[in-house]
Chain A
Amino acid sequence: MKENTTEQAVGTRRLWLWRVHPWLSVLLAVCLAAMANFLSERHFFRRDFSEAQTAALSDRTKRLLDQLPFDTRVIVYFRDQDDLVRDVKNLLREYAYASRRVKVEVVDPDRDLARSKDVAVKYELTEANVVVFDGGGKTSFVEAGDVAEFDARTAYSGQPARMTLFKGEQVFSSALLGLMQTNRPVVYFLGGHGERSPDNYDPAAGYSSLVRRIRNEHMDVKTLVFGQEPSMPADLDALVIAGPRKTFVEAELNILKRYLEGSGRLLVLLDAGTEPGLDALLADWGVTVGHDRVAGLTLTGNELLVRDYGDHPITRTLWNVATLFNSPRSIQPAPSREGRWPVPTGLTSAREGTAGVPADRPVAVPLAWCSERGWAEMTPTEQPPKFDPATDRRGPIPVAVAVEKGPVRDIQVEIRPTRLAVFGDSSLVANGPLSAGYNPDIVLNALNWVLGRDPLLAIAPREPRYVRLAIGQGEVQTVFWLIVVLVPALAVFLGFWVWIRRRK
């Protein structure tokens, strides 16, 4: 009796095991799969095979992400219907894939009301379509308007706006760099000579929009007036002289001269028809200021459409971007012994053009110039400007120049280079053009370069590769009949054929 009970117990246990065993095996398989996926999350290969390379981050961004010292939360506070949201989300996911420290959260103000409210309150957001970078105790914001450029023709036609350039990587990496920087560079705007004021909101004369963009790039802006300060401020990282109208006095020129000789960083924007008296100072640094007005490709008569750029860190991101100068004066490198300026046509390397120049001499490189069809009008008041072969000079005529002296590298020390960028127009980044979406890049790039923040300048914007199939009504009908009617009809025919065959 006892043996029977024992045998029954063993039999029950075996039956139980027999029933449980398959499910334990399945559980084990699930664990193995989870482990494989866990490992694949940590060691993965990801490659973009498309021509547009929208998912490929630049080496500079990858290096930046490698050096990110703290966890960073990126909140994409975008409406789902926005044209940009997909590209923004996709790009930021690449940041998260490239660095474990970056966590991306998408908050749609229309769908996720509770979270949206939290985010809006925490970061004091009044409008949607902003990307928030939060890390290292600091926050940084990128607005939708800074991420891409759209075709102005489609923007007002009622059709979905066509993106012409996507600058996501540049602005997002800049925001990350802003979080990582311990000290924000301080940019001083010089006053006292009728310069454009950073506090002026006037569309034509003010620089308030430019200053907002400069602050968005994690720089502080202050103003400086010679005479109020005994010398250059100690926290000055770069000086901006924007559109001076009065002449500088000798003492002021000496201050500027000493500042430049002491590895100074200067951005100058000069207007045609003004005589601030900076010609001699700039000539010492290899820059010739023209007393003329550059004319050429124009839309309404006054502005100059510039599409030709030198190969320089400042202009490397401006591929396929036009810059609108407003009646600029010529600014060109001082002629070499051969009487020519170093980069004549096309995108020849600035280094090639300056080969053989000792490192302790200033090297001036043209940044932008009018086409060969443009000219330097030697009678600036002539309206409309007309090319006169006797007096005027035929293009290409440069309207912006970058100058660098040094760096002089020794075995143990590296002398900080002097950097100087000069533009022949100051209105190109006034509030009006900036609010219309023109011109910020070349001047902001110049400011970043002057400050030595080169890495971000090399991240080029991308041209989206959208599919545009120009198909007419006739083709639509043919495709409809072929694809929507004929192909499914073949499946129906095949079914009937099999059915009839089987009946036979």
Chain B
Amino acid sequence: MSAEPVNYDQMIACPQCDGLSTKPLLKEGQKAVCKRCGGKVLERKRDPIRRTLAVALAGLLLLIPATILPLIGVSAVGLFNQASLLDCIAILIANDYYLIAISLTIFTLAVPVIRLLAALYISWCIRMQRITPALVHFFRSYHQLDSWTMLHVFLLGIMVSMYKLVALAELSVGLGLVAFILLLICSTLVSVTLDKHYIWEQLEAGCEY
């Protein structure tokens, strides 16, 4: 290990290639790329806290209609059936497909809900300047959730199913689908507006170990 006197608080490393560089001072809306691999090293987003608060709250409000209201329905020879997200899970459990039921619950319900709640809570705490050590652990767990939200995949699944069903029966679109699309937009916007670097800076400044 080289014993150079480096002030490593002023340094950042690229998460992709581990290249070291000095921490640039960014204005809101700017980002820095690694000179070695070209990947994004640092980004400062505009107005991260207030925007995240707004989007996360909207997402949580949409969550109830998106899960309870029917997404799509079919009718053939006078019979009609429609299903919401909760119905899908219930039917999978009834048919003993527990693994699929669990993955559907986790990826399209639990993870998005926890993610929105976490984004809301953390933004609110930072806005109110109520930073506790517990919040650090809390936000750390948040990072795990990003790659496991699959609302967008489920929406594509709805579209493919609709395409399949058009040939089979008369199709109807439920109000739940509208709420679901809006929820997806909110959930995606949270990852756009939430500035992880900014929040970590605030958390680190806010509590001394």
| Mutual binders A and B | no
Residues of A within 8 A of B (CB): none
